[in-house]
Amino acid sequence: MTLIKFEPLRELENWNERIHRFFNDFPSADFNYFPHIDISDDEKNIYVEAEIPGVKKEDMKITLQDNILTITGEKKKEKEEEDKKNFFRSERVYGSFTRSFTLPEDIDPDSVDAKFDNGILNITIAKSHPKKVAEKLIEIK
């Protein structure tokens, strides 16, 4: 007879997997579409990279106001595609999205460059040169 070590938490892991599988099989009507974003920087620029597959360039808008970068858009479902096919399963998500990010104060709002290619949106924002503050002598009264 083989002895098996009793691990009570293993049963909880199995239940967790079963619950996730159960809910992942049902599409959610209130599931919101939003692109995944990476923001990085170096000494000269701030880089924003967004994965936005299936969205046309004409259906996106990028704004920069008060150091808040906002990306809005809509992933539209082809109406004629829906009418011609009988779907056995539909997992793709459609809808409008808005993502906003507060950027550091040291950016140059006049130097924003955006490129969209193969579902990837790349935004480059130049950092402004830090203003050197001259030392000021304060008189004590």
CATH number of the domain bearing residue 75: 2.60.40.790
Q: What is the mean pLDDT of residues 78-88?
A: 72
d(CA 48, CA 68) in angstroms, rounded, equals 13
Average pLDDT of span 13-25: 70
- Pick the most confident of 18-27, 76-85, 105-114: 105-114
Per the structure, the count of domains in the chain is 1
Residue 103 resides in a domain:
yes
- Domain membership of residue 102 (yes or no) is yes
In a domain, 94, yes or no: yes
Residue 25 included in any domain = no
Domain-located, residue 134? no
Whole-structure pTM over 0.75, yes or no?
no
Of the two residues 3 and 97, the one the predictor is more confident about is 97
If phi over 0 gives left and psi between -120 and 50 gives alpha, with beta otherwise, what is residue 136?
beta
Does the residue 22 lie in any domain?
no
Question: What is the residue type of 91?
Answer: E
Domain that holds residue 109: 31-127
**HSE toward the beta carbon, residue 37, CA cutoff 13 A:** 18
Is 9 a domain residue?
no
For position 24, what pLDDT does the model report? 65
Mean pLDDT across 118-135: 85
Q: Is residue 72 included in any domain, yes or no? A: yes
With 80 as the cut, is the pLDDT of residue 33 above it? no
